[in-house]
């Protein structure tokens, strides 16, 4: 199965690079990739790693979001990680200290499942979920409401996580007539 190419606005890169007065070779040197790689990004043949996306945005005085072509408010959980310049392994290292040990611990497969739209059962208890949201927000350098918005965009059926456990209605009581 071919690797999915992440969203990337190749035309924006070309315009921003030219506006910055940089050649492909100069941008490549600043980012730490080859000029051929920059050409590939601009032609839409491939997309940069999270680290290179973040570095290019810095060099071009823009945001990773602009380079990716993702409208504000429509970022996925994977986009938030990419915009932070993190691959999954790096994200897990940052998340691990903030999450409980045991079944709720951060792992690359849990993060991949979450980013792929598959629920992570160990993170579906309200207090654990709140810890996961706070840890992601801290690791990715975004406000918690941004993580929540991206989460519920992917998992609208999990909105019950916003309601404290004690306030959730239980099953209706059977009443005898």
What is the pLDDT at residue 175?
42
What is the pLDDT at residue 38?
96
Map tokens 């997309």 to a residue.
Answer: 47
Dist. CA 109–CA 85, nearest whole Å:
19
First to last CA, the chain: 60
pTM here is 0.82
Task: Report whether CATH 1.20.120 matches the domain 77-165.
Answer: no
What is the pLDDT at residue 1?
38
118-125 long-range contacts, Cβ below 8 Å, gap at least 24? 119/155, 119/158, 124/158, 124/161, 125/165
What is the pLDDT at residue 10?
87
pLDDT along the chain (177 residues), means of 10: 63 93 96 95 91 95 92 92 95 92 91 94 92 96 95 92 57 43
Domain with CATH 1.10.260.40 in the chain: 10-68
CB 74 within 8 A of CB 67: no
10-68: CATH topology: 434 Repressor (Amino-terminal Domain) (1.10.260)
What is the pLDDT at residue 147?
96
Nearest residue to 153 via CA among 117, 129, 127:
117
What is the pLDDT at residue 3?
41
Residue 119's region, left for phi above 0, alpha for psi from -120 to 50, else beta, is: beta
- The DSSP call for residue 61 is T
What is the pLDDT at residue 161?
87
């Amino acid at each position: 199965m071919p690797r999915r190419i992440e969203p990337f606005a190749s035309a924006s890169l070309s315009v921003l690079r030219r506006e910055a007065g940089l050649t492909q070779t100069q941008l490549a040197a600043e980012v730490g990739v080859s000029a051929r790689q920059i050409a590939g990004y601009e032609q839409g043949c491939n997309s940069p790693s999270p680290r290179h996306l973040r570095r290019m945005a810095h060099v071009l005085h823009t945001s990773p979001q602009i380079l990716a072509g993702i409208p504000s408010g429509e970022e996925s959980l994977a986009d938030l990680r990419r915009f932070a310049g993190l691959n999954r392994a790096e994200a897990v290292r940052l998340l691990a200290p903030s999450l409980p040990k045991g079944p709720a611990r951060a792992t690359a497969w849990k993060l991949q499942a979450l980013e792929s739209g598959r629920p992570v059962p160990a993170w579906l208890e309200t207090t654990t979920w709140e810890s996961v949201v706070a840890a992601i927000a801290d690791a990715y350098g975004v406000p918690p409401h941004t993580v929540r918005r991206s989460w519920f965009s992917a998992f609208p059926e999990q909105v019950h996580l916003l309601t404290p456990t004690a306030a959730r209605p239980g099953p209706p009581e059977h009443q005898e007539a």
